[in-house]
A and B are shown apart, each in its own frame.
Chain A
Amino acid sequence: GESVGLHLPTLSVQEGDNSIINCAYSNSASDYFIWYKQESGKGPQFIIDIRSNMDKRQGQRVTVLLNKTVKHLSLQIAATQPGDSAVYFCAENPKDSSYKLIFGSGTRLLVRP
């Protein structure tokens, strides 16, 4: 069946270092991918998205990479800050599914001061 998963459930990084959060997806027909950040007590917050006709997209301190060959998605956070500590979810939108999002189980990012 369709699934979105994450390789690492918890990632601990030193403040100022770069963080890389990985995600595998199984539906090769998915054409839209989103990364969300969820802080304690809050709903998921949009970070960055990418469509399947792109390999890379950059935002402010964040970069998303898409490798369609191996169905892999990653989120890179540059100069990680304490405020980046949260749970990060990747989500995929299968092409024929009317804006449905399939979420992974999440990765917790801990930033050490």
Chain B
Amino acid sequence: EAQVTQNPRYLITVTGKKLTVTCSQNMNHEYMSWYRQDPGLGLRQIYYSMNVEVTDKGDVPEGYKVSRKEKRNFPLILESPSPNQTSLYFCASSFTDQPQHFGDGTRLSIL
């Protein structure tokens, strides 16, 4: 089954404790992206990747890092999480110039 898989689905943690949210897709898509979704603000892009070893900032990259060492994986790293990063996060992937497929989301709570 074609899918985008995120882990964990839920995480409660504390300020400053490094965390990684993994994202994996099995569709051989070149493009992958991370979004955060906050009430009233819709989905905002954090980082995206056009292909392996090619990443770039989206609209709200501050406080996040990403890497793309393999085509199928695109982890999101919060080196020193803060409460304002409490949000619902989505990973997405696609072939170039095609609709993006989304994972089911990761709800992060930073205390």
Give the B-binding residues of A (Cβ under 8 A). Answer: 4, 32, 34, 36, 41-46, 49, 89, 91, 98-101, 103-106
Contacts and interface: CB of A to CB of B under 8 A. Distances in A.
Interface residues of B, number: 26
Contacts of A91: 43
**Chain B interface main SS type:** strand
Contacts, number: 54
7 contacts: A46-B99, A46-B100, A99-B33, A99-B96, A101-B43, A103-B35, A106-B42
Nearest to A9: B40
A103 B35 CA distance: 10
Interface string B38-80: 0011111100101000001010000000000000000000000
B87 to A, nearest CB: 14
Contact of A34 (B42, B96, B99): B99
B94 A99 contact: yes
